[in-house]
Structure 1
Amino acid sequence: MMGLEDGFSGSYDPADVTFLLKAVVLPCVDVEEKEAAIQSGRRHYSEMLAPERAPTREYMRAFREAFEVNRARVGRDVARLAKALALRGADETVLVSLARAGTPVGVLLKRALAALGRKATHYSISIIRDRGIDLVAMRAILGRHSASDVVFVDGWTGKGAIGSELAKAISNDIPDLAGAPLCVLSDLAGVADLAAGDEDYVIPSAILNGVVSGLVSRTVLNDEVVGPGDFHGCVVLDYLADMDLSRWYVDDQMEDVLACLHNAEPASWSREERSRTAAVSTAFVESMLVQTGAKDRNRIKPGIGEATRALLRRMPERLFIRDPNARDVGHLMFLAAERGVAVEADPGLPYGACAVIKTLGDA
């Protein structure tokens, strides 16, 4: 049975995070082969990884522009979340970020809480849609920390699938964590307990993959490499080390957090705000299913963050953009042009972007 001593920090400073993941070797599959296997039901998406390539020079320019445009916003939102978490009054805040998107946010929150004089510990673990949270990792955490101190962290929500998966796991498998909140920068689905808001804006760490998330791959759960007592798996992306921005990003972004921290108002996310946001999300997904003829809601990827991930590692058919000239979607326009994905402008879109995954065969 793996325990906390088996964790590692990836390319982050060990003081920033402990990944409770098992480093594995897993052959990559072609993106089209992977998509066909997922849609046919032959394989679950968590059993496979497509190759993660180094970002091009042009794409890095788009990332750096998005970072400069949004760094102050991210800094303010992290500061507001940290202020809210500090008010919980716990002796220690145990941040459990959901790998990978939650990890950079978790690092920033840990540093911000330390700047506020609060003790914080940060772990990053796996949660997989339809497969649940990594119970081996969670039991290791609860063997050392109080359940009342746990706060789950993610970058954003799209349709709320991971938030629902988390709620289900807590209800069915870890009832001691019933009071543990889910904390995100932007809650497009209205499923988080604490959020800085629901505006769809570019969170810079969403634009890149492993090179801004500690050089770890998306998490995997494949019986060939992950046993019953193991943490969920990941591939360590050492071959991208020359491109790694993980420490650079949190160091630079932290300057903005600290600039806002003293005067930031604690974030609040009321039940009414969550309900309103959830209603918009549900209605939008249903309308997109009708408009595009997609039969599976998992192929609708609302929001800039989810659309970015779809263009980076899936086979998108169409990209809907509210304003093609907005600076927040420059990287999406670049990716769509690079991959030959049709772009449709829709000024009435409630989000900055939405990607729709291509249907293969009769799936």
Structure 2
Amino acid sequence: MDKQQVRARHIADPVPLGSYPAEDVTFLLKDLSQVKLEQPTEDRERAIQSGVHYSEMLPVEYKPAKAYLKLYEETLQATAEKVALAAGITAELIVKKKGTNLVLVSLARAGTPVGILIKRYLSQIHGIDLPHYSISIIRGKGIDENAIHYMLEKHPGSQLQFIDGWTGKGAIRQVLIEACDTFAREHQIHLQDDLAVLADPGHCTDIFGTREDFLIPSACLNSTVSGLMSRTVCRDDLIGPEDFHGAKFYREWLDEDLSNHFIHAVEAFFGQISAAAKQGADKLYIEPPVITWKGLEDIRSIQTEYGIDDINLIKPGVGETTRVLLRRVPWKILVDRLDNPHLTHIHLLAEDRGVPIEVYPGLTYSCCGIIKSIKGETE
């Protein structure tokens, strides 16, 4: 028996978590629902920038305002078909490149709804039913190796396909590359470190539906569009050597949950976009896109121009900028142009929080959020 099987034997089966149907995804996460982990935004920001790792606490989950929920619904109606096409292209490209002996592995939590969309697309359009898990990966701490061992033991001989929502400056892709290198070195098991995403505005992967930096509606909300799951947590006093990384399941938010509503709204378009998705994937397969990390070059220029000590204070792309405005302490927002149709919600959130918006011509992304500097290490 090899090292992989010996290790996996001691890892307990996961408990049911999240508001998605069990057939859509299995969360390989330890349930920390009863632990008080939330910190107010200002306190959390101060702690992060003073050296406390961001994965050791959680932002407070706030009930979205009515105006913001209305905007989410309008955005979903306007972009559901576009999201469906991006998911379809990504799904088609995965199968073209890898075949069907696969396990879909979403990176919690933004990757989870995308993984479900890819799984459902392949099931509806091709009759392929792939296993799908959601696991934790954390900048500065790496990937959840217990989750990797668990999946390899459950699905011997299958390839793991990692999935996320979108790319920013490529930080998680870099963590994934490093994690796979470490896993190969320590366990002699080689994982493919490519990352499938709906949108790759950072130009740091070659499996994607689009490189346009548009608003994926699931970036608008927090747990209520992510299966009522929190961000993942990795803290020594809570996560033992044989545990999965942890997360909270906000069962008390069931009445507010839009997670399955988002999936249903997007998958309704799968039938009508499937031909275009196959054509899009064919083109990307025949002419593989170049990984240039172009977005990271933009971020370094912004860092220099604004005199920002820590590059992690700069969060590029619509999704990351949304997150900055929702759960961090923003300093300012940079946009490529003021009339960008993808940025209506950014203007709304910035106005609500009193955050200035500046035009930054030539930006690779639609926008970029800059976190207010306090001091020290940041998320």
Q: Is the 8 A contact 2:101 2:158 kept in 1?
A: no
Q: How far is the alpha carbon of 1:266 from its aligned partner? A: 4.8
Task: Provide the secondary structure at the position in 2 that maps to 1:120.
Answer: coil
Structure 2 distance, partners of 1:239, 1:119, is 31
Partner of 1:317: 331
Any idea what the Cα deviations from partners look like across 1:174-193, whole Å, max 9, x if unmatched? Answer: 45343353111111223224
Distance of aligned partners of 1:187 and 1:361 in 2 relative to their CA distance in 1, 3 Å threshold: closer
AA at the equivalent of 2:30: K
Partner of residue 289 from structure 2, selected from 254, 269, 273 = 273
Any idea what the Cα deviations from partners look like across 1:184-242, whole Å, max 9, x if unmatched? Answer: 11112232241123210111111111000100001111122211111111111122211
Structure 1 distance, partners of 2:42, 2:240, is 28
Distance of aligned partners of 1:269 and 1:239 in 2 relative to their CA distance in 1, 3 Å threshold: farther
Any idea what the Cα deviations from partners look like across 1:6-40, whole Å, max 9, x if unmatched? Answer: 14241001110001111112331121111111112
Q: Is the 8 A contact 2:108 2:232 kept in 1?
A: yes
AA at the equivalent of 2:103: V
Matched, 1:112 2:128: no
Q: Is the 8 A contact 2:336 2:367 kept in 1?
A: yes
AA at the equivalent of 2:298: F
Structure 1 distance, partners of 2:11, 2:98, is 31
Percent same amino acid among aligned pairs?
Answer: 39
Structure 2 distance, partners of 1:33, 1:335, is 20
Task: Provide the secondary structure at the position in 2 that maps to 1:53.
Answer: coil
Give the alignment of 1:252-331 within 5 angstroms.
252-264=265-277, 265-267=279-281, 268=284, 273-276=289-292, 278=293, 280-331=294-345
Distance of aligned partners of 1:177 and 1:186 in 2 relative to their CA distance in 1, 3 Å threshold: farther
Q: Is the 8 A contact 2:39 2:59 kept in 1?
A: yes
Matched, 1:78 2:87: yes
Instruction: Tell me the TM-score normalized by structure 1.
Output: 0.93
Q: How far is the alpha carbon of 1:263 from its aligned partner? A: 4.2
Distance of aligned partners of 1:362 and 1:81 in 2 relative to their CA distance in 1, 3 Å threshold: closer
- Number of equivalenced pairs: 359
Task: Provide the secondary structure at the position in 2 that maps to 1:155.
Answer: strand
Matched, 1:136 2:146: yes
Structure 1 distance, partners of 2:331, 2:98, is 48
Structure 2, unaligned stretches of length 5 or more? 1-9
Partner of 1:63: 72
Distance of aligned partners of 1:317 and 1:214 in 2 relative to their CA distance in 1, 3 Å threshold: same
Partner of 2:191: 178
Matched, 1:47 2:56: yes
Partner of 1:36: 46
AA at the equivalent of 1:125: I
Q: Is the 8 A contact 1:320 1:354 kept in 2?
A: yes
Partner of 1:245: 258
Distance of aligned partners of 1:180 and 1:28 in 2 relative to their CA distance in 1, 3 Å threshold: closer
Structure 2 distance, partners of 1:176, 1:44, is 29
AA at the equivalent of 1:157: T
Moved over 6 A (4+): 269-272
Q: Is the 8 A contact 2:214 2:318 kept in 1?
A: yes
Instruction: Tell me the TM-score normalized by structure 2.
Output: 0.89
Partner of 2:211: 198
Distance of aligned partners of 1:165 and 1:17 in 2 relative to their CA distance in 1, 3 Å threshold: same
Structure 2 distance, partners of 1:14, 1:274, is 37
Matched, 1:231 2:239: no
Distance of aligned partners of 1:222 and 1:362 in 2 relative to their CA distance in 1, 3 Å threshold: closer
Partner of 1:352: 366
Matched, 1:213 2:223: no
Structure 1, unaligned stretches of length 5 or more? none
Any idea what the Cα deviations from partners look like across 1:59-106, whole Å, max 9, x if unmatched? Answer: 111111221222111111111112222324644321000001100010
Task: Provide the secondary structure at the position in 1 that maps to 2:39.
Answer: coil
Task: Provide the secondary structure at the position in 2 that maps to 1:196.
Answer: strand
Q: How far is the alpha carbon of 1:340 from its aligned partner? A: 1.3
